[in-house]
Structure 1
């Protein structure tokens, strides 16, 4: 099918959506190149009825505008039901609102552990299309046409950077497929603009017209963090945070300023730890050599995103390698095995709670209990938030 044919087909579908005749079933709307029978497997997230303001049964729905910087403003004639995204916070934000992805740039099984730890909430990888075959693949606009997502939860600057597309390419996708509305929140990209986690979540709630679920999330996270913070000791440890990998073999490590404007270190800010690497709040990360690290010698070393990307076995291997290292073994954190895993890049409202619980248990086991090594193995009596309440919000029972 040529791009022109795909474009015409997708345009006809969008005319159908405007009349309110969309197909709602498993949460994936039938597109131009295929259909869905509305069935779902036991492993897929149950699709609950949309909030009242997001119903599409009205013959003449009221258009509404949503502005997401830097992407701009888009007017929706009907509530989007499908989305495509990068692996990251926007997927977890949408999942928190009860909407699983139609397509992702890539998606790995290990990253889905948080949803599998919730009752009745999961993502079936078989139902999620991929926009790239691999990290080495080129971006193909035809794949975007075939996926035919109602909205793309992506920062257009990031999409341009990794795809090599220009503004005309982005405008083509927006005009023929769906708007590109997203913003980089891992850390400020090109310094401006930047949304906090819940500012971005509020934007997604506007896009999908699910403000009731957003409000429920705000109430829940306020309660959970108030309870955790009330139990923290006055004397907080100093933590040296590193991005994803703690490069044992390299001579330089990528350190993060915990107190900077960034979402991936949010867990440690909420727990009030002291940052070992003070500096420019707009720097993505700092290259820290062994000599500098030994000079700082933080009480704890934090591996940001390790909780998401790795399992406990591989984490233990990293710790053991540091203990066996000629130089790194001199660090106080290594000698005391004070390595901490947190979530980061993918952290939306759901993962935010799991990360806070995991880090609280790793830093303060006497108060919160011993960390078992996996988000799915925390004993019920030690859980710092109610899994069922989270699932109820996701499924619209608010």
Structure 2
């Protein structure tokens, strides 16, 4: 692991076609993106995604995904691997199950199980490591042999301990690294893409524009319905990353107005942000006293809709209510705790998260939240599960 010496492997002919002529890690990524880069040079909104017209490779096409840059595909990739982030859910929205994931820790499989005729066969999915933030072994990447890696190379480098030469080796011998972290700002840089901008990049990679367009139509319809029904008198929400650790006494405040994907559900529901300003960053904790000064109407826990069941979540509320200091908070006294999707929130998780938060915040308008996505009554569902499945299965 971490060895930058190239390993000699035979690469199938199709792999050569998938790799194409693009050079992802040479030049632009190493000088501009892994090293921080200049915000003024980011041009994601004008990136060109047009077929390369040559007589020898008439079906080749280019896709640009920052921070890696442009890659040329000679064939449409069929398999992918992903590490923590929204990209697996993005690909699942296009009906493509991963060949490998970092691990099954906190993986949002329950959302797929809640949709009719949508399958996620865990037996067919390999793991790249023991946990979501493993020290990955390059040999595992060779064994998986994915056509494309939907993962931010900066995150892969951070988790694995690899150097730039290791990333270049995987690029050259296995497949391109074409993901981008959109969860929240990374190393002082805002995400390159919103959720649906990243989603469109995936649609370009897998050449599934029609499915993407169907998703956009569905999403806009759901969003318009929700916005039209949200009351004008918005409550104040203090949202938190990484759980709500009652006994630990440190809480990681989330500025939900920042350009970050994991807090998008709160923005859609129009709540007032308790943590305004740049001082509230993902990895800077605040203590009990700061919370008492803010005293929000609600406490929101980002991500716990995905990987914490209702019983465990209720136990957190009860522990907060029994706490000498936290028990003084208005939100805690009233049991006003919210949970949403977060780290893995692609288009599928986004819909469920929107529905769940609407019901938790405004039960008089959207119906009483039953505690789990599986138990939402049909009359309160904000989107048609069968319609979503039809788009995923490309059968519309």
* Distance in 1 of aligned mates of 2:191 and 2:343: 18
* Distance in 2 of aligned mates of 1:158 and 1:127: 25
For residues 267-297 of structure 1, what are the alpha-carbon distances to aligned partners after superposition, in whole Å with 9 as ceiling and x for unaligned? Answer: 0000100000101188335422100101100
Report if aligned partners of 1:259, 1:281 keep a CA contact under 8 Å in 2. no
Report if aligned partners of 1:7, 1:145 keep a CA contact under 8 Å in 2. no
Are 1:157 and 2:154 matched, yes or no? Answer: yes
Report if aligned partners of 1:261, 1:282 keep a CA contact under 8 Å in 2. no
CA RMSD across the alignment: 2.4
Report if aligned partners of 1:238, 1:276 keep a CA contact under 8 Å in 2. yes
Match runs of 1:231-246 below 5 Å:
231-246=229-244
Q: Which moved more, 1:125-134 or 1:276-285?
A: 276-285
For residues 203-244 of structure 1, what are the alpha-carbon distances to aligned partners after superposition, in whole Å with 9 as ceiling and x for unaligned? Answer: 101100001011111111100010011011110000000113
Are 1:147 and 2:148 matched, yes or no? Answer: no
Secondary structure in structure 1 of the residue aligned to 2:64: strand
Report if aligned partners of 1:7, 1:177 keep a CA contact under 8 Å in 2. no
Secondary structure in structure 1 of the residue aligned to 2:11: helix
Residue number in structure 1 paired with 2:172: 175
* Distance in 2 of aligned mates of 1:67 and 1:282: 31
Report if aligned partners of 1:239, 1:275 keep a CA contact under 8 Å in 2. yes
Are 1:187 and 2:184 matched, yes or no? Answer: yes
Provide the TM-score with structure 2 as the length reference: 0.86
Residue number in structure 1 paired with 2:33: none
Report if aligned partners of 1:329, 1:335 keep a CA contact under 8 Å in 2. yes
Q: 1:307 to 1:188 in 2, by over 3 A?
A: same
* Distance in 2 of aligned mates of 1:252 and 1:192: 24
Residue number in structure 1 paired with 2:342: 344
* Distance in 1 of aligned mates of 2:263 and 2:191: 18
Query: For this pair of structures, how many residues does the alignment match?
Result: 359
Q: 1:99 to 1:221 in 2, by over 3 A?
A: same
Residue number in structure 2 paired with 1:74: 71
Match runs of 1:1-398 below 5 Å:
8-14=9-15, 62-108=59-105, 111-134=108-131, 137-190=134-187, 191-280=189-278, 283-398=281-396
For residues 144-177 of structure 1, what are the alpha-carbon distances to aligned partners after superposition, in whole Å with 9 as ceiling and x for unaligned? Answer: 0000000000111111111111111101001100
* Distance in 2 of aligned mates of 1:78 and 1:13: 8
Q: 1:199 to 1:15 in 2, by over 3 A?
A: closer
Q: 1:100 to 1:110 in 2, by over 3 A?
A: closer
Secondary structure in structure 2 of the residue aligned to 1:239: strand
Residue number in structure 2 paired with 1:40: none
Secondary structure in structure 1 of the residue aligned to 2:77: coil
* Distance in 1 of aligned mates of 2:134 and 2:328: 42
Secondary structure in structure 1 of the residue aligned to 2:256: coil
Unaligned 5+ segments in structure 2 are 20-50
Q: 1:206 to 1:110 in 2, by over 3 A?
A: closer
Residue number in structure 2 paired with 1:31: none
Residue number in structure 1 paired with 2:40: none
Residue number in structure 2 paired with 1:35: none
Q: 1:371 to 1:115 in 2, by over 3 A?
A: same
1:135 Cα deviation after fit: 5.6
Provide the TM-score with structure 1 as the length reference: 0.85
Q: 1:120 to 1:109 in 2, by over 3 A?
A: farther
Report if aligned partners of 1:256, 1:285 keep a CA contact under 8 Å in 2. no
* Distance in 2 of aligned mates of 1:354 and 1:67: 29
Report if aligned partners of 2:261, 2:345 keep a CA contact under 8 Å in 1. yes
